[in-house]
Amino acid sequence: MSVDFRQRSAGEIIQMVKRRKWLILLPIITMTGAIGYVVNKLPSVYESKTVLTVKAPTISDKVVQSLSDSDVSQRIENINTRVLSRTSLEPMIAKYDLFKIERNAGMPLELIVDRMRRNIKVELVRTDYDKIASFQISYRDRTPDSVRGVVAELASKYVSAQVSESTERAKDTQEFIDEQLAEKKKTLDDLAKQRLEIMMKNQDALPEAAQGLVAQLNGLRQNEANIGRDIQAFNSEKGRINDSIGSLNSKIRLVEDLGQKDIEDALNKGTDVRQSPAYAQLLQKRAELEAKLKSLRAEYRDKMPIVVDTKEQIRTVNSALKELELSAKTSVENAKESSDRKAEIQKRGFEIEKQKLVGEISNIETQIALKQQQLQQNSAQIALVEAKLNAVPNVKVMLESVESQYQSAKSNFDDLDKKRNDASLQVNRESNAQGETISVIDPANLPKSPVAPKRELLTAFGAALGLGLGLFLAALFEVPRLFKIQNIEDAKHYTGLPLLAAVPPLLTHNEISWNKRSYWLKVLAGLTAAIGLIPIIIMVVQATRVFEGLVS
């Protein structure tokens, strides 16, 4: 059967504390003494403060826009970065002989600067509308004069840095805007140049020239129709002349045929001379003379006069025959020549007329070729004008695109130009200290008493730490006893039986005396150990520099 744990009364707890009072008191004495000693040996830390305010601009917001609260906060942050930089803090360490102990101990300068930076606090003070009204600079160090000097110099650095920061920012802004303005101006110039190049390359294809191109195209098409009609007329005339030439060729062939027929007739007439009576009589006479000569040769010799005379007569008849044939031949040739001359005259007349017609055809062909050339040129011009007309929409789109880009770039340029004017006014305002300025309203004070370390509080902390340690030690001894029967109440509770009698410890006088002596010997040993631990704890705390970190 399980029994519940018996709860102790307040009186019993007090008895436990009394029984273990030295386990509680000795840690309190040790920790209080050690921490009190360490705290009293810590150097005093003084703090100096100054208050700076952000003054509103002296000129109207309508002239130059004032800085917003976020801009002021950002500017103060930038000034903090500049003022709290190593370049700014390092000279002050040597000037005011700060952190002498650390420097003599060989601490790196970077760590000293970091420690000094941690000792500087900048707190912004805002109004009910969450606007920055002022800010406070405080610095902690070991001597009153040094902290006041550092705070005063920091305040002057903030004032000068604000002027420099605002002026530089305004100038940087103006320079940046000038660069952007130059880029935008170059973009504008490039777009204007691009637009001009498009217009120069497409002078005849500009949207404004579309109506003129349409009129020009109509004129060219009308001219093309006129040239086509002229070519058709020339071809008709050429066909007519070719017909005339064909007719002349027929006439020439007819003349040639007629002349040939006349010659044949003349030849036929020349051949009929053998059938003429005169030619027949001469033939008959020559036959008679040849018969006579034959009979005479039979009777006479060839040298006989009668034979010679007969031969002469025969030769005369032959001569007459030849003359008659020659006369006929001459007549034929004369007739042929006359016919040829007559045909040639007619043919030449026709040829002359034909040459005239051929010349006219050549002239017409020249005119047709010229018209064909004009037609090709006109077609080329039509194609060119049509290409220009077809290019008008593309050119219009390109010009509209460039114009849109130009107007957008010009709008950006105008905006930047306005910002540049504002930046110039801002530079003038900052240069003349007419903008937001930082001024000191509460100079750095000379502290009279240290703000750290809080020796009483830290000593009390040591005592509380000792108390906690003492209670822990007491609990180590008392908690195990709680699970054992120690008195009458424990016996009643855990046995559940009535108690009839209780027998106290029966000790002799010597045992009682020995118990008292051993008790005080234990107390003396504990006190000695506690006092002996004080230097050890002091060395440990000083070595760990726990409290130096809390008060620095």
Average predicted confidence (pLDDT) for the chain: 76
Helix (H, G, I), strand (E, B) or coil at 120: strand
Please tell me the predicted confidence (pLDDT) of residue 336. Answer: 62
pLDDT greater than 60 at residue 300: yes
pLDDT at 298 over 70: yes
pLDDT level of residue 251 (50, 70, 90 thresholds): confident
Band of pLDDT at residue 496, cut at 50, 70 and 90 = low
Question: Residue 131 — very low, low, confident or very high, per pLDDT cuts 50/70/90?
Answer: low
Under DSSP, the state recorded for 349 is H
Say how far apart CA 429 and CA 381 lie, in whole Å: 67
- pLDDT given for residue 332 in this prediction: 59
Checking 399-407 for CB contacts under 8 A at 24+ apart, the result is 399/195, 399/198, 399/199, 399/206, 399/207, 402/191, 402/194, 402/195, 402/198, 403/195, 405/191, 406/188, 406/191, 406/192, 406/195
List, for residues 397-411, the tens digit of each pLDDT value. Answer: 776 777 777 788 777
Spatial contact of 299 and 226, defined as CB atoms under 8 Å apart = no
pLDDT at 88 over 70: yes
Collapsing DSSP states into helix, strand and coil, what is residue 365?
Answer: helix
The CA angle 214-217-219, to the nearest 5 degrees, is 110
Burial of 68 (0-12, 13-18, 19+ CB in 10 A): exposed
Predicted pLDDT at 233? 87
Which of 4-18, 308-322, 355-369, 493-507 is least confident? 493-507
The pLDDT, as a whole number, for residue 446 is: 86
Between 120-124, 284-288, 451-455, 484-488, the lowest mean confidence (pLDDT) is in 484-488
pLDDT at residue 205 tops 60: yes
Residues 6+ apart with CB under 8 A from 223: 378
DSSP letter for each residue of 258-270: HHHHHHHHHHHHH
* Size of the chain in residues: 552
| Cα–Cα dist 13/471, whole Å | 12
Angle between helices 305-431 and 277-299 (to 10 degrees): 130
- Judged by average pLDDT, the poorest of 268-277, 465-474, 513-522 is 268-277
Residues 185-201: what's their mean pLDDT?
77
Among residues 431, 422, 420, the alpha carbon closest in space to that of 166 is found at 431
pLDDT band per the 50, 70, 90 thresholds, residue 40: confident
- CA-based Rg of the chain, rounded to a whole angstrom? 74
Alpha carbons 404 and 66: distance in angstroms, whole number: 35
* Contacts of residue 62, Cβ cutoff 8 Å, sequence gap at least 6: none
375: pLDDT strictly greater than 80: yes
* Token pair 């040094």 in the structure block, residue: 146
Residues 552, 541: Cα–Cα separation, whole Å = 15
- pLDDT, residue 388, reads 73
> In Å, how far are 52, 298, 459 from 124, measured between CA atoms?
10, 186, 34
Residue 548: other Cβ atoms inside 10 A: 14
Tokens of 92: 């002050």
Q: Looking at residues 83-97, what average pLDDT do you find?
A: 88
Cα–Cα distance, 184 to 192 (Å, whole number) = 12
Q: Which of 235-244, 246-255, 318-327, 349-358 has the highest mean pLDDT?
A: 235-244
Q: Both tokens of residue 238?
A: 């050429």
pLDDT grade for 487, boundaries at 50, 70 and 90 = low
Percent of the chain beyond pLDDT 70?
74
pLDDT of residue 527: 85
**pLDDT of 62 strictly over 50:** no
Cα separations in angstroms, 99 against 40, 95, 138, 376: 19, 11, 17, 102
Three-class secondary structure assignment of 278-322: HHHHHHHHHHHHHHHHHHHHHHCCCCCHHHHHHHHHHHHHHHHHH
Q: Supply the pLDDT for residue 218.
A: 86
Longest Cα–Cα distance of the chain, Å, equals 246
- Share of residues in the chain with pLDDT > 90 (%): 1
Listing DSSP states for 162-180 in one string gives HHHHHHHHHHHHHHHHHHH
- CA triple 446-450-452, angle to 5 deg: 140
Contacts with 208 (C-beta within 8 Å, 6 or more apart), sequence order: none
Q: Give the mean model confidence (pLDDT) for residues 482-488.
A: 68
Q: What is the mean pLDDT of residues 349-362?
A: 79
Which has the minimum average pLDDT: 16-20, 171-175, 321-325, 491-495? 491-495
264 near 394, Cβ under 8 Å? no
Say if pTM beats, i.e. exceeds, 0.75: no
Q: Is the dihedral of CA 337, 339, 340, 345 positive or negative?
A: positive
pLDDT of residue 429: 54
Question: Taking 50 as the threshold, does the pLDDT of residue 486 lie above it?
Answer: yes
Q: Any alpha helices (H) in 432-508, and if so which ranges?
A: 455-481, 488-495
Rounded distance, CA 423 to CA 181, Å?
12
Tokens 């039986």 belong to 497
